[in-house]
Homo-oligomer: A and B are copies of this chain.
Amino acid sequence: MSFHPPLRTLMGPGPSDVNPRILSALARPTIGHLDPEFIRLMDETKTLLQYAFQTGNELTLPLSAPGSAGMEAAFVNLIEPGDTVIVCQNGVFGGRMKENVERVGATAVMVIDDWGAAVDIEKVQHAITEYPHATAIAFVHAETSTGVQSDARALCKLAADDGMLSIVDTVTGLAGIEVDVDGWGADAVYSGTQKCLSCVPGLSPLTFSTRAQTRISNRKTPVQSWFLDMNLVMGYWGKGTQRAYHHTAPVNALYAMHEALLILKEEGLHNSWARHQSNHLALKAGLEALGLSLVVKEQDRLPQLNAVSVPPGIDEAAVRKQLLNQYSLEIGAGLGQLAGKVWRIGLMGYASRPSNVRLCVHALEAALINQNLTLDRGAAISAVNKCYEDMQ
């Protein structure tokens, strides 16, 4: 029987609610991946991606696979066997970077911070002093497992000042908070479609600086992945109408991504960031009125991903289940070290809107009361409303 999904409100760590305009673009008739009209779409998509990343990088494209493949593409192209890479870990995805470095046959020097804390710049400086010949510094700009943002500008500058490449994971960052690839001087930056771009999951936008591109061209060893080899991918995504066939592009997914980027451009980057911030503040006001607290300290919080401590005595899975069953509302569980200890409430892209904040606060209030927490009914929604009024 055909699959008819329930209509959810997606406020987990991604995928986020997809704008109906994007679903409509997704379903347009498929054309060939070498069709002149498709080549035109590719050119426009590249320009829109350069806008989203704030970069003039020629090597800017959507990879035909999810964000984890974007991460792998950064490492397998820039790192060679025997290299040393300084990897900052303050959550799940720094750990995945370590895996990637090691599978390339390189050594990962780990800079570890607590889950829920930002990457400590001083520790990274120390690692640079200890490993001055490291090839790259890799870090997660927006940690999806904890809701933390780290100082990408400072970390990329450290790398550049010491002649190292910077590899930046901003899967959850792009379009939700400032991503300034050229301003940072970042060398490899990758993201995902299913977070603050509010597109369907499956692609990974990425960009490489000219410095990174030179390194890829001058490698001593071949890139270990044929599918992710940027020397080959560029033959298809490069300039001009003579595109060399590499693999069949996910045509319809690219229709969707083009539409998502267009929506972002129409709103404007700064407006998108401001919207994420204001809905975050309203949610925070509601959560606090429910007696809940955020895991991350204020200056390091991602507005688009709110890690909330589960109060003692509360069955966190039962709360999520009630939200899903009674409100068709998805929020996320904790991941890794934080499993069972936090909820992750996403306000990403199209999902970052006042009606979602209100729904979530109402639903959480009901679920917490159901768990025998004593709460002042209605206080949370009043706090949310007051916050929105104050911001006007």
Which residues of chain A have a CB within 8 Å of any CB of chain B? 1-8, 10, 12, 14-15, 17-18, 21, 23-33, 35-38, 41, 44, 64-69, 71-72, 96, 99-100, 102-104, 192, 194, 200-202, 222-227, 245-253, 255, 258-259, 262, 324, 330, 335
Contacts and interface: CB of A to CB of B under 8 A. Distances in A.
Contacts of A223: 103
Given A2-B262, A10-B31, A30-B10, A252 B200 contact: yes
Max chain B Cβ within 10 angstroms of own Cβ: one of A12, A21, A38, A69? A69
Contact of A15 (B14, B30, B245): B30
Contacts of A249: 66, 201
Given A23-B27, A23-B28, A200-B252, 8 more contacts: A5-B30, A10-B30, A15-B248, A32-B330, A33-B201, A69-B227, A245-B335, A253-B253
Given A222-B103, A258-B3, A259-B2, A201 B15 contact: no
B27 A8 contact: no
Contact of A18 (B30, B35, B202, B245): B30
Nearest to A333: B34
A202 B64 contact: yes
A37 B328 CA distance: 12
Contacts of A201: 30, 33, 248-252
Nearest to A32: B330
B5 A255 contact: yes
Contacts of A68: 226-227, 246-247
Nearest to A223: B103
Nearest to A44: B3
A116 B194 CA distance: 43
Contact of A37 (B6, B28, B225, B248): B6
B32 A250 contact: no
Given A201-B248, A248-B192, A252-B200, A96 B30 contact: no
Given A69-B227, A200-B253, A250-B253, A27 B27 contact: yes
A245 B99 CA distance: 16
B31 A5 contact: yes
Contacts of A259: 2-3
Given A3-B28, A3-B258, A248-B194, A226 B8 contact: no
Contacts of A248: 14-15, 66-67, 192, 194, 201
24 contacts: A1-B262, A3-B259, A4-B28, A5-B35, A6-B37, A8-B31, A8-B32, A10-B32, A15-B30, A18-B30, A23-B29, A26-B252, A66-B247, A66-B248, A68-B226, A69-B69, A69-B247, A72-B227, A96-B226, A103-B225, A201-B249, A201-B250, A225-B225, A253-B253
